[in-house]
Amino acid sequence: MSDPALDTLVLPLETGAVELADKSRVLFLRARTGRPLAALADADLVCEQSFAPDRDALQKAGLKVDAETEDKSFDAVLVLPGRQRQEARAQLARAVSKTRPGGTVIACAPNTEGAKTLESDLQELLGSAEKMTKNKCRVVWSELSDDSLNTALLAEWLVLDAPRTVLDGAFVSRPGIFAWDRIDPASRLLADLVPATLKGRGADLGAGFGYLTRAVFEKAPKVTSMDLYEAEKRALDLAEQNLAAFKGLRTMNGIWSDVTQGIEGPYDFIVSNPPFHQAGKADRADVGQGFIRAAARGLRPGGEFFMVANRHLPYEHTLGEVFADVKQLADEGGYKVIRAVKGKGGR
């Protein structure tokens, strides 16, 4: 798949606008893999990525990947900031904090996802910024100088995405996580319809900061354990905090993985609010379809799958292919809740 932001990010290196010596230490925050990384072939490259599908792709390409690196003083730091404003500023500040004096910070965003703001933010932090535009994206860069660095703003922005209590102290969350400061209405609808009769071993696919798992534990006393699958490690770390009250009472296991690549099991039941987009705004029905197939493989015969999705997403055909019985439980507020049962023969 094309990746316009990644293509544009490396333009300063490909054109010579930014020159790096051989074996320069380079850090790539929120890294993604692709052909453009050939521009960093001679660098000592470290990739930081807490999102499992991108982590897996980077590792498959033979690159060094950390969920969160402690190293500093890099010659250059590249970053593809997230779309959420606080998270994006925190990531830009993190890039600056990891760069040595005289090193270069390079950042890129699509024009429709805050590119102009990114340029002004880098100027505020470092005193100046160069730019190029291509592929409907903008790449900005600047050299780090202690004389022009806005240290007060750097300190302020570094903690913009720090974990904090939300929803009147009911949960701990942080900017950049899906529905970070609210309960997603789709998840709430699913939680309301999950039966109190659930029991045994369950899983939450795309667990986020732990809302659905907590709802299951609170509603169904015969549930003995839950495996929480989540692609974003920062969300999974929050889920552990949000489920601390059940520690020692129920068995919990956080699994940082791409659900579409398969899950463990067998499970008595599975709940899920699958994501329907990744690294952009376009709908990705294939991600949810991958969740459905993974759920079918991970359930025991007769096991139940409860999922919620936007009404328009085409999941019914996939559900019918891999489950013996499929029933819609609700259709309200633009969302549908579906219960599917795995057949005794395995389907």
The pLDDT tens digits for 72-84 are: 999 999 999 999 9
DSSP for 194-211 reads S-TT-EEEEEEET-TTSH
* pLDDT the model gives residue 281: 46
CA neighbor of 337 nearest in space, from 260, 273, 270: 273
Between the two ends of the chain, the Cα-to-Cα distance in Å is 32
pLDDT tens sequence for the chain (347 residues): 689 999 999 999 999 999 999 999 999 999 999 999 999 999 999 999 999 999 999 999 999 999 999 999 999 999 999 999 999 999 999 999 999 999 999 999 999 999 999 999 999 999 999 999 999 999 999 999 999 999 999 999 999 999 999 999 999 999 999 999 999 999 999 999 999 999 999 999 999 999 999 999 999 999 999 999 999 999 999 999 999 999 999 999 999 999 999 999 999 999 999 987 454 444 567 899 999 999 999 999 999 999 999 999 989 999 999 999 999 999 999 999 999 999 986 55
CATH T-level topology, domain 4-158: Rossmann fold (3.40.50)
* Count of CB atoms situated within 10 Å of the CB of 250: 17
228: left (phi over 0), alpha (psi -120 to 50) or beta: beta
* pLDDT the model gives residue 280: 46
Residues of the chain with CATH 3.40.50.150: 4-158, 164-341
DSSP H helices, 220-315, are 233-242, 285-298
* pLDDT the model gives residue 346: 56
- 164-341 to CATH, choices 3.40.50.620, 3.40.50.12280, 3.40.50.150, 2.160.10.10: 3.40.50.150
* pLDDT the model gives residue 279: 47
Task: Kindly report the pTM of this predicted structure.
Answer: 0.94
Q: How far apart, in whole angstroms, are the C-alpha atoms of residue 142 and residue 120?
A: 12
Reading the block at residue 264, the tokens are 């463990």
Provide the β-strand partners of residue 110: 137
Q: Which amino acid is at 197?
A: T
Residue 95 half-sphere exposure toward CB, CA atoms < 13 A: 36
* pLDDT the model gives residue 268: 98
Q: How far apart, in whole angstroms, are the C-alpha atoms of residue 161 and residue 147?
A: 26
pLDDT (tens digit per residue) in 281-302:
445 678 999 999 999 999 999 9
